[in-house]
Amino acid sequence: MTNTEKATTLIELVKHYSPSGEETSAVDYLIQRMKDLGFTKAYKDEVGNAIGVMGEGEKQIVLLGHIDTVPGEIKTRIEGDTFYGRGSVDAKGPLSTFVDAVASLGQVRGWQMVVIGAIDEERESVGARHIVDKYRPDFTIIGEPSRWDRITLGYKGSAHTQVTARREMAHSARADETASEAAFAVWGRVQAWADEVNTDKKRAFEQILVSLRGLSSGDDGFETWASLQVGARLPVDISPDDWYTKLEELAAPESIERSGFAIPAYRAERNTPLVRAFLKGIRATGGKPGFVVKTGTADVNIVAPVWGCPAVVYGPGDSNLDHTPNEHISLEEYRKAVDVLSEVLRNLTKSVS
């Protein structure tokens, strides 16, 4: 069987373009694909996630990937060993790896393996937030790209805030501070504080990374206002509440308003049966295992702290291609990732009773 034939799940899933909010076609395909591959059951849950279950044992492994992508359809095509398409890396490649690896293993006495193609990860993670209270797995694997021979152990947290300054209208000839000047003064204080915190931290994963995501201003004839959209990528030792408390101090007397969902950082333990199974699986497939941590945020940040079980993030593909117009994946790498994960699941279900 060629690499292209072995990647049927991936190729066909990517053909179903599914930006956040438009996942239905891809979800329907994946459910049918899991049925065709012999999953015990496959269905769509209440919010639209694709759920596939293999086996009926009391012990459980949840393999959580996301089926939505960022907008921007890329014409699917294969050039040699390379497959191009939106989501081929982020993150239908990892999700398809889960499906094919579980299908290759089949049912294992005493174990239930649950593959979830979650919706809306690229926005507010509606899919992951829905399932977080519905499972209590023994092991969790989250699907995001980091290459077939590496394991991701951590993701930074995130928080988004709108800072607004307001001032009475005044003639431009006067020297009074404007709302825009006040807002930018806040941004200057935020940058200076972040630089101070990061002084002795060499790794980006350990730093707080602040960014100015947007700005706007206006007036109603009596009052002027200026708003900044401030984003923060948080290290493990700064919680969202810590960040908001500090930002209120830095922004005073201006107002702040929290936006969306704040997510704390997450870092997994290295010495667990799950990590050891991945090390063994990567070596058995001819690779030299590596560990990475990421400066982004993923569904692992949402589910792993609640589930409290060993968790890692795994999947083929180069994460530098996430969200790019040139998104593509090596079919050979995809095959190796399926082989690795199949070996991981085989060893894990044998060694843990």
Three-state DSSP at 184 gives helix
Q: Any catalytic annotation for residue 121?
A: yes
Matching residue, tokens 């947290």: 157
Return the structure tokens found at 169. 């209208």
Three-state DSSP at 190 gives helix
| Alpha carbon distance 277, 105 (integer Å) | 15
Contact 127, 118 (CB under 8 A): yes
**Minimal CA–CA distance to 227: which of 237, 219, 236?**
219
Element (H, E) at 127: helix 126-131
Q: 23, 120, 121, 339: which one is catalytic?
A: 121
Contact 217, 224 (CB under 8 A): yes
Cis check for the bond before 91: say yes or no (omega within 30 of 0).
yes
Residue type (1 letter), 337: A
| Alpha carbon distance 224, 94 (integer Å) | 49
Q: How far is CA 81 from CA 78, 98, 100, 113, in A?
A: 7, 21, 19, 30
Contacts (Cβ under 8 Å, ≥6 apart) of 292 = 146, 150, 151, 152, 153
Three-state DSSP at 166 gives strand
Neighbours of 71 (CB within 10 A): 12
Question: In the 8-state DSSP scheme, what is residue 205?
Answer: G
Backbone angles phi, psi at 314, to 5 degrees: -150, 150
Q: Any catalytic annotation for residue 68?
A: yes
Largest CA distance in the chain: 80
Q: 68, 138, 149, 343: which one is catalytic?
A: 68
Q: Which residues are catalytic?
A: 68, 121
